[in-house]
Chains A and B, each alone.
Chain A
Amino acid sequence: MTTPATTAADGREGTGREQSGLRLTGVTLVLGDGDTAVTALDGVDLTVRPGEFVAVVGPSGSGKSSLLAVAGGLQRPTSGTVHVDDTELTALNERGRTAARRRHIGYVFQQSNLLASLTVREQLLLPLHIDGRLDAAARKRADELIAAVDLTHRAGARPHQLSGGERQRAGLARALMASPSVLLVDEPTSALDRARAAEAVRLLAEQTHAQSTATVMVTHDTATLDAADRVHEMMDGRLTRA
């Protein structure tokens, strides 16, 4: 398997940007108010260095999805700070957080969340089109990433023509397309059988190390944790080392 080199289309903001990964400090998220208030995250501290693959396990409702939402700037925490490299995500407004997601954060969603009308190759080109950086270098990187996730023969296929494993690999390649500093992965194996789940997580670990991303994967699936550098457990909004 080849590893694509970081090119001009990598989405980083020049050489001045410090690569320090993801840092959550004292993050608390309270949903609702009054009698219906629920503490989804309770004083979470988490640091993930570039090239490190961290898994977070926990039962449904423990706060795993909230952790990904806050870490990626989809949701603003009630208190605490989130840093992606040298940028404090929690200090940005909606527009700033959207731009940060575009340039520095990659999401791999549960069941891949591919767009029905796009081919695999177009799925990869989309993030750079959104960022106005779709050029020859971007097309080259897309082809390299498609090869890296072993989908070259399926590059022209649309999601409904792909198997579950292929869709998940395409989703991973799309998340890596803008060479994000932080990769946030939501239940990547929930729709896969055991063998394909192991293969998907192995690929995720491999790309984390190759691309030097700070990767956080939340999962129910304890059978795939061997590939992680570190495992945390989430329970009632609190994060503990497993």
Chain B
Amino acid sequence: MFLALRDLRFARGRFALMGAVVALIAVLGVLLSGLASGLADAGISGLRALPNTHMAFDAKATSEQFSRSTVEKEDWRAWAAAPGVEEAVPFGNTLANAVVTEGRKKGADVNLAVFGMPSDSYLAPEPTEGKGIAAGSNGIVISREIADEGVEVGDELTVDKSDIRLTVVGTVDETASYGHIGVVYADLETWRHLHYGLPGELPASARDQATAVALKLAPGADTAAVEKATGTRADDKEATYGASPGYTAESSTMALIQGFLYAISALVVGAFFTVWTVQRKAEIALLKALGASTGYVLKDAMAQVVTVLVVSTAAGTGVGLALGSAMIGKAPFSLTAAAVGTSSGLLIVLGVIGAVVAVRRITAVDPLTALGANR
């Protein structure tokens, strides 16, 4: 670091410019990873919060299964009886628009992502306030997203068109969204009324249907036979996220943007240190003529790279965190230590890789040129 630190001090204008570019990339990295996490939360945090390990969909539904899949009573019964299956209960989901007809926010429109499940099943939520869902009532438990809109326990919501009235009986203190809409939990019977838009008696065909079978499988459970027998396909929990509308497109778009950002950062750092190394060629030749090994010069150069990257990434990450904190609640944005750490770490690692390619030139510098061999 003898020469590295003194070079940094001496050429501080150049390094400040480079550092500013890296810091801006770090800011963008933090904001993008916050947005990616936020969008993922808004898209599938409701599914993530469910205690299942797998979800069995109609095998004919190959994309956006939550919108296209329908399963029957025989299916979840067959799944419940299959070996290695610890839990198998019907699960339904649907989106609905409602108006607060009783409560502090009377008249307010509320969008609902309704998750339906048997009220006595392992899927039913444990409310942190009020009571849980119950069969034979139109009671719902709301997530924090809906509560944040001012809806409270005891409020009454009326669903558009069908005029089905729902009563808020409890809340769960956790983030649960589906397709960017706050989740409410309802008994399966209530869900069926909402899904089919029928407030009265349900037709026989609708009574024994659900969207999917929510499974809890033992590790290594072989489900091939029951899948074949029921015409369903069990996806693990991660795979079910892709069944949520728009989730795969959103997450792959964000991953693509982040990938390009990291590639650009490696190229920018590599380009800067290529120019810097070329400019230093005479100095490197001199160092070698004075007896410095190639390892010494490389170590010094890499110490310079790491110093620039770490300091500017830390500064950029700090600014990114401050900006990101201001965005929480105003945009789908969530900051986690893991996401920020990964973003900053990748920026440093890829920057170092870019710089390694650049400073490799040091090995080719001939100390003979220090003698001014032009004579």
A residues adjacent to B (C-beta < 8 A): 60-61, 64-65, 68-69, 72, 74-75, 95, 98-103, 105, 107, 109-111, 113, 115-118, 122, 125-127, 129-131, 134, 158, 186-187
Contact = CB atoms under 8 A, between A and B. Distances in A.
A10 B9 CA distance: 30
A35 B289 CA distance: 30
A98 B290 CA distance: 8
B283 interface: yes
A116 B368 contact: no
Interface of B: 2-3, 6-7, 9-11, 282-283, 286-293, 296, 367-368, 370-373, 375
A69 B371 contact: yes
A61 B373 CA distance: 10
B277 to A, nearest CB: 15
Nearest to B7: A117
Contacts of B283: 115-116
B372 A65 contact: yes
B291 A98 contact: yes
B371 A129 contact: no
Contact of A186 (B287, B290, B372): B372
Contacts of B371: 65, 68-69, 74, 107, 109-110, 186
Contact of B375 (A65, A122, A126, A158): A65
Closest 4 CB pairs of A and B: A102-B291, A117-B10, A101-B291, A117-B6
B119 to A, nearest CB: 74
B370 A107 contact: yes
Given A103-B291, A127-B291, A75 B3 contact: no
Contacts of B9: 117
A131 B371 CA distance: 21
Contact of A75 (B6, B10, B290, B368): B368
B6 A102 contact: no
Contacts of A68: 371
Contacts of B290: 101-102, 107, 126-127, 130
B237 to A, nearest CB: 56
A115 B285 CA distance: 11
Nearest to B294: A98
A118 B375 CA distance: 28
A61 B374 CA distance: 9
Contacts of B367: 74
Nearest to B286: A113
B354 to A, nearest CB: 23
Nearest to A59: B375
23 contacts: A60-B375, A65-B371, A68-B371, A69-B371, A74-B289, A98-B293, A99-B293, A101-B291, A102-B290, A102-B291, A109-B289, A109-B370, A110-B372, A113-B282, A113-B370, A115-B287, A117-B9, A118-B6, A126-B2, A126-B3, A127-B290, A130-B287, A130-B291
Contacts of B289: 72, 74, 101, 107, 109
Given A74-B289, A109-B372, 14 more contacts: A68-B371, A99-B291, A107-B370, A111-B372, A115-B3, A116-B10, A122-B2, A122-B6, A125-B2, A126-B290, A127-B291, A130-B291, A131-B291, A134-B2
Contacts of B287: 115, 130
A174 to B, nearest CB: 8
A98 B288 contact: yes
A131 B287 CA distance: 12
Contacts of A98: 288, 291-293
Given A98-B291, A126-B3, A130-B292, A115 B372 contact: no
Contact of A74 (B10, B292, B368): B368
Contacts of B282: 113
B281 to A, nearest CB: 13
A60 B288 CA distance: 25
B99 to A, nearest CB: 71
B12 to A, nearest CB: 10
A129 B291 CA distance: 11
Nearest to A109: B370
Contacts of A65: 371-373, 375
